[in-house]
Amino acid sequence: MEVPLFPLRTVLFPGGPLPLRIFESRYIDMISHCMKNDLLFGVLLIKDGREDGVASTYEVGTLATITDWYQGSDGLLGVTAAGVERFHLLSVRQQPDGLNVGTIEVIPPEPDLALPEEYASLKKIVESVLGDLGRLYESLERRFDDAVWVTYRLTEILPIELEEKQRLLESSDTLGRLKLIDELMNTVRDPAIE
């Protein structure tokens, strides 16, 4: 499967929102093509380089679909995308316009896993925080009893290093992610939330 690639300084998770402001012609063309043909594009975290220049990326990313678009008051194209599923980048080729296109392999979704009772406090945190995150999260599907969904939402909103978020995106170990996130939360948890 080939998809256009969008290297960014962010980690997108399946089911998560991604706001973008598009100004480079290669990405305006990419977004236009994806919208017209209902196609996905791949989001990869930049390892070295810049969003508006040459960049090397990690090999695991998330396919994204466009859910909304608008033209900003500054004339830039604004896009809201949503993460669909994880993928592994197998190879990259660059088009004449500078857009990178990748051959990818979709990573099978993690099996459904009910949130274990011992992590019920993480569910409460996600429930209490999602409403405060603004418009991006208003229409987000809520699956508070799904351990995979809860770990993805917490990882994307926690103020942790991008490399750590990437490591958690690459992991298919839901219980391992739950344990790590719970340990992170225990270092900053407010007793009033419990």
Q: What is the CATH number of the domain that holds 90?
A: 2.30.130.40
Indicate whether 150 and 172 sit together in one domain: yes
Q: How far is CA 25 from the centre of its chain?
A: 23
Indicate whether 54 and 149 sit together in one domain: no
What mean pLDDT is predicted for residues 96-110? 94
* pLDDT of 10: 96
State how many domains the chain has. 2
* pLDDT of 119: 94
102 lies in some domain:
yes
Coil, helix or strand at residue 70: strand
Q: Which of 52, 79, 106 is the last residue of a domain?
A: 106
Indicate whether 17 and 89 sit together in one domain: yes
Helix and strand totals (H; E) in the chain: 5, 7
Distance CA(26)–CA(100), nearest Å, equals 9
On the question of pLDDT at 188 being above 90, the answer is: no
Helix axes 147-157, 174-188, angle to 10 degrees: 50
Indicate whether 121 and 179 sit together in one domain: yes
111 lies in some domain:
no
Amino acid (one-letter) located at 21: R
- The H or E element that residue 126 is part of is helix 120-130
- Determine contact, residues 171/11, Cβ cutoff 8 Å: no
User: Which domain range does residue 189 map to?
Assistant: 117-193
Please measure the distance between the N-terminal and C-terminal CA atoms of the chain and give it in whole angstroms.
45
Indicate whether 12 and 96 sit together in one domain: yes
Indicate whether 12 and 76 sit together in one domain: yes
What values do phi and psi take at 31, rounded to 5?
-60, -45
Indicate whether 36 and 64 sit together in one domain: yes
Helix axes 162-170, 174-188, angle to 10 degrees: 150
Q: Average model confidence (pLDDT) for the chain?
A: 90
Indicate whether 150 and 78 sit together in one domain: no
* pLDDT of 192: 47
**Structure confidence by residue, pLDDT tens digits, 134-149:** 788 888 889 999 999 9
**Structure confidence by residue, pLDDT tens digits, 149-176:** 999 999 999 989 999 999 999 999 999 9
Q: Which of 48, 83, 106 is the last residue of a domain?
A: 106
Indicate whether 25 and 58 sit together in one domain: yes
On the question of pLDDT at 71 being above 80, the answer is: yes
Indicate whether 96 and 145 sit together in one domain: no
112 lies in some domain:
no
Indicate whether 62 and 146 sit together in one domain: no
Distance CA(25)–CA(42), nearest Å, equals 17
Indicate whether 121 and 56 sit together in one domain: no
